[in-house]
């Protein structure tokens, strides 16, 4: 998938009203399911998942505030952000004073509509711009929220790309936000593109599309015995804005995925931050009982841009170029995970003669001849069975791709033997 194709997917998903449960999540997974083979799971209301319980399912058909002339001053049909997520049904006539405690605005950004939810406390509300609120008279207003809260299911999905080993890479993104393009639709689009790009990998790649917090907790509860197969993992969010990339380390801080991401980000504008138990679902995967090696990749991080959780986070806020850059960064990480390894130098006493083996000659005419020669020398020197190619790249300052290419050439010439896995 190109950046333009990922952006088109964001635009297609944008109108759907998602929440932690309901038909919006199913419709979203249905569209992703046109591009990937998904295993969709439905977990009934009332199911105990770790310390949580699956809530009732929420669905909404319509909602509005009508002024005395019958005009929809606030209209769910124009934007699903206008209703507080999980609002209970309402049908009433109210003055503005009576309605005011149920209205949410952003006075500092008067043209934007905020995103608000109330998943676990029965209440209702509307979100609107401060400009709209400032233009409202005293009423009375017809107030309607046509929603249902009833026993149903929480829905999540998985896509697995089987590898030659059972060791797994987990890629997780949340599917619970309504019309917010960067948080979370760009992450869904980039994860989908990455899954489609993988072909016969060494590692097994598991993509989880689940509602935030409760969805990841549900997945962990239902896969508790198999989490030991996860060797590396990333949560993916805010993947399409124009900011530089940000990587948040796993709880461990020095897990292989942390080293891999540091290596692939080295030559890109980026920020690396330490783990904190706040943000996206990395905090569930990194909870102390699981302590999985899962970091988080975003562009501008959680709550770090003015459009975050507002109507400003629309398809125009995300760009095909930014999503393509996020995808290429992930692909660089995949290449490290796939090709890293530990090697033994089979001619360790002195530097072996590379010229008579045709290794120097094979570099003639290349624009990166000096780098390729250095990569061979570094690989030979550090291939003692203990250092991985990722170690070599880190110590030498050379790109991982150059190091991996050198190792392949040296192995082909009979100077190296692979003796173990790397990252």
Q: How far is CA 277 from the centre of its chain?
A: 17
d(C-alpha 398, C-alpha 198), whole Å = 25
Are 232 and 423 within 8 A, CB to CB?
A: yes
Residue 376: CB atoms within 10 Å:
25
**Residue 204 forms beta bridges with which residues?**
168
DSSP 8-state assignment for residue 347:
S
d(C-alpha 228, C-alpha 318), whole Å = 36
**Residue 127 forms beta bridges with which residues?**
104
- Residue (of 325, 302, 245) closest to 6 by Cα position: 325
- Residue (of 129, 125, 118) closest to 94 by Cα position: 125
153 known ligand binder? no
Residue 268: CB atoms within 10 Å:
12
- Residue (of 163, 299, 158) closest to 231 by Cα position: 163
183 known ligand binder? yes
d(C-alpha 10, C-alpha 20), whole Å = 19
Which residues in 380-396 are b (16+ Cβ under 10 Å) and which e? bebbeeebbbbbbbbeb
φ, ψ (nearest 5 deg) of residue 159: -130, 125
Binding residues for Zn(2+), by number, are 177, 183, 309
Binding residues, by number, are 177, 183, 309
């Amino acid at each position: 998938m190109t950046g333009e194709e990922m952006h088109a997917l964001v635009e297609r998903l944008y109108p759907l009203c998602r929440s932690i449960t309901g038909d919006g999540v199913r419709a979203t997974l249905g569209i992703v399911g046109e591009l990937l083979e998904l295993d969709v799971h439905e977990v009934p209301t009332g199911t105990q998942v770790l310390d949580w319980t699956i809530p009732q399912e929420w669905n909404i058909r319509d909602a509005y505030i009508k002024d005395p002339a019958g005009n929809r001053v606030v209209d769910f049909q124009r934007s699903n952000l206008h209703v507080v997520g999980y609002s209970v049904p309402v049908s009433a006539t109210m003055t503005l004073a009576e309605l005011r405690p149920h209205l949410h605005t952003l006075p500092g950004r008067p043209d934007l509509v905020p995103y608000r939810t109330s998943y676990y406390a029965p209440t209702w509300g509307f979100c609107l711009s401060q400009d709209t609120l400032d233009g409202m008279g005293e009423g009375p207003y017809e107030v309607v929220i046509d929603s249902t809260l009833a026993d149903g299911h929480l829905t999540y999905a998985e896509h697995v790309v089987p590898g030659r080993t059972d060791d797994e890479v987990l890629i997780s993104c949340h599917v619970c936000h309504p019309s917010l393009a960067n948080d979370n639709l760009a992450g869904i689009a980039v994860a989908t593109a990455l899954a489609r790009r993988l072909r016969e990998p060494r590692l097994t790649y598991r993509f989880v599309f689940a509602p935030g917090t409760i969805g990841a907790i549900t997945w962990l509860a239902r896969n508790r015995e198999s989490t030991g197969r996860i060797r590396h993992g990333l949560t993916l969010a805010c993947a399409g804005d124009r900011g530089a990339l940000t990587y948040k380390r796993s709880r461990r801080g020095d897990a292989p995925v942390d080293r891999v991401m540091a290596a692939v980000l080295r030559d890109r504008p980026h920020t690396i931050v330490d783990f904190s138990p706040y943000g996206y679902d990395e905090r569930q995967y990194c909870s102390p009982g699981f302590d999985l090696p899962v970091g988080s990749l975003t562009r501008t991080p959680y709550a770090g841009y003015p459009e975050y959780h507002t109507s400003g986070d629309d398809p125009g806020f995300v760009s095909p170029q930014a999503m393509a850059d996020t995808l290429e960064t992930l692909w660089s990480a995949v290449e490290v995970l796939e090709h890293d390894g530990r090697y033994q130098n089979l001619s360790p006493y002195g530097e072996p003669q590379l010229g008579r083996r045709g290794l120097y000659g094979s570099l003639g005419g290349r624009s990166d001849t000096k780098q390729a020669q250095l990569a061979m020398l570094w690989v030979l020197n550090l291939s003692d069975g203990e250092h991985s190619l990722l170690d070599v790249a880190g110590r030498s300052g050379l790109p991982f791709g150059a190091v991996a290419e050198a190792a392949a050439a040296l192995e082909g010439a009979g100077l190296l033997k692979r003796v173990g896995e790397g990252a």
